[in-house]
Amino acid sequence: QVFLCVTSTLSVAVFRGHFVLEDLVEEMKKQSPALDFGPLQPDGQIAVQGSFPALRELREFLLVKAKSLSEEDKREGKSRQRLRRKLQEHRGATETRNSIRDAPRETQVVVLDTDIYLYMRSFHPKTFQGSDVVISGVTDGDITTVCIQSAGGKAGAAHGLRAKRTIESCSVELQKILRKERICFKEHSRAEKQKYKQLCERLKPRHPGVLLLPYDTHIDVVGTSVRVFEFTEDVKR
């Protein structure tokens, strides 16, 4: 079994007030017919599944739209920015510190294949560590949603975005090289299942690049093609 697609959660909330979000989603579907789109959520998030190249094309499409809105907002907001700067000049240092301390936390979301997430946790744990961020994962079957929380403000947002990009980059590279082999227990008794699990655990030290995921009916072996093949052949012997 090879990882051929990824599911990503996109937020189109930034376009609210400029477009009818339902119409924007329909435009996205026409732009990227190879992708599968989930339902649009009230908060403006939508799950999209497909190949990485197709997702990258959709991302570029949305970035172009966002950039055009940004330029429009800049033109309309010059007078408001001048007024805001004048008001900030009159704020005391204490008030400024309080506003930074009380700023709401920002959240970035990455949706990963659960096997890739578990492999990253086991062999690339530093991927889920970042400066001034809290990273947690919630697994629901084959999909794991990774939440990256950071402090508000530009600095916090930068830390959160950096952590998100690190996770996404690692997952992309792993998706290219990982495969999964399943050792099924359907035809075995409870005692034989236990024997298989014990055998796999004994063999694991010989194959340090392999991740074992035991379940009631099978064991999933995740790793590169060569290492998975070597492990399964070792089990057969």
The answer to whether the CB of 27 falls within 8 A of the CB of 65 is no
Q: Are residues 116 and 173 in the same domain?
A: yes
B/e letters for 141-178, b = 16+ CB within 10 Å, e = fewer, are: eebbbbebbbbbeeebeebbebbbebbbebbeebbeeb
Residue 211 forms part of a structural domain? yes
Residue 82 forms part of a structural domain? no
Residue 63 forms part of a structural domain? yes
CA dist 34 and 148 (Å) reads: 29
Pick from 187, 169, 233, 181: which is nearest to 212 by CA? 181
For position 175, what pLDDT does the model report? 86
Q: Are residues 174 and 188 in the same domain?
A: no
Q: Are residues 168 and 183 in the same domain?
A: no
Residue 111 forms part of a structural domain? yes
For position 73, what pLDDT does the model report? 54
Q: Are residues 111 and 174 in the same domain?
A: yes
| Antiparallel, parallel or unpaired: β 36-37 and 6-11 | unpaired
pLDDT tens-digit series, residues 94-124: 343 444 344 456 778 888 888 999 999 999 9
Looking at the DSSP assignment, which residues form a beta bridge with residue 148? 108, 135
CA dist 200 and 223 (Å) reads: 14
Residue 91 forms part of a structural domain? no
Residue 127 forms part of a structural domain? yes
Total count of domains within the chain? 3
For position 187, what pLDDT does the model report? 67
Residue 184 forms part of a structural domain? yes
Q: Are residues 164 and 192 in the same domain?
A: no
Residue ranges making up the domain that contains 210: 179-236
Q: Are residues 33 and 60 in the same domain?
A: yes
Give CA separation, 37 vs 30, 50, 58, in Å: 11, 9, 12
Residue 8 CB neighbours (<10 A): 19
For position 100, what pLDDT does the model report? 39
Q: What are phi and psi of 34, to 5 degrees?
A: -80, -10
Residue 100 forms part of a structural domain? no
Please tell me the least confidently modeled range out of 9-13, 30-34, 101-105.
Answer: 101-105
- Residue 170 pLDDT > 80: yes
Residue 162 belongs to domain with CATH number: 3.30.70
Residue 19 belongs to domain with CATH number: 3.30.1370
Q: Are residues 14 and 63 in the same domain?
A: yes
Q: Are residues 163 and 219 in the same domain?
A: no
- Residue 81 pLDDT > 80: no
